[in-house]
């Protein structure tokens, strides 16, 4: 019959003591604990790292006294940066791209394409930057393969510029914003 251990304490091996800062008198202790209910598997309650020193190894080498305090949280400051670029499909291609007044930028992309997802925010920024001067759309090559084939799209992302329904230029790959801006400026 197997027994379940309520708490396990593991100390670091003695050969790691050489790597510890001189001010630490004992190695860190790692404690795993669980609560056991009758007839149930043990529930993992967390990993606790305990150390006798409250100072970071980096602060031990510096002259200033910095104290390591727990309890601070990690805050993600990432925001939704991709602006929504309108979608063009087989049915809307003629009206939105070919019969449009002025230049039109079309990004050929696919949902599974990593570089396409990298360039989406750039296309969104360009649509804001050139609002009123340039119309920006994106076309999923998975949803509209006939248009992608018609224009010879073999790599994505591919960004094409159309004027009066005619393809004027194409940029292939996830390129910097400056490259796209230079291409756009040629046709404004």
Catalytic residues: 113, 116
d(CA 100, CA 7): 70
d(CA 77, CA 87): 28
Question: What are the CA-CA distances from residue 21 to residues 111, 112, 139, 187 (Å)?
Answer: 49, 47, 58, 63
Q: Are 123 and 107 in contact (CB under 8 A)?
A: yes
Q: Are 88 and 140 in contact (CB under 8 A)?
A: no
> Cis before residue 52, ω within 30 degrees of 0?
no
Q: At CA 154, angle to CA 150 and CA 160, rounded to 5? A: 65
């Amino acid at each position: 019959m197997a027994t379940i251990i309520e708490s396990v304490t593991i100390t670091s091996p003695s050969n790691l003591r050489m790597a510890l800062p001189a001010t630490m008198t004992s190695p860190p202790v790692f404690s795993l604990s669980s609560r056991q209910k009758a007839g149930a598997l043990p529930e993992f309650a967390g990993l606790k790292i305990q150390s006798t020193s409250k100072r970071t190894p980096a602060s031990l080498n510096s002259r200033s006294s910095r104290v390591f305090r727990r309890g601070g949280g990690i805050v993600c400051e990432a925001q939704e940066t991709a602006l929504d670029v309108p979608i063009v499909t087989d049915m809307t291609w003629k009206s939105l791209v070919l019969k449009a007044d002025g230049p039109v930028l079309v990004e050929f992309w696919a949902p599974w394409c990593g570089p396409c997802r990298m360039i989406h925010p750039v296309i969104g920024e360009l649509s804001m930057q050139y609002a009123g001067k340039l119309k920006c759309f994106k076309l999923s090559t998975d949803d509209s393969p006939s248009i992608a084939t018609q224009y010879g799209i073999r790599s994505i992302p591919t960004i094409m510029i159309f004027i009066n329904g005619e393809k004027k230029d194409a940029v292939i790959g996830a390129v910097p914003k400056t490259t796209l801006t230079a291409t756009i400026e040629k046709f404004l």
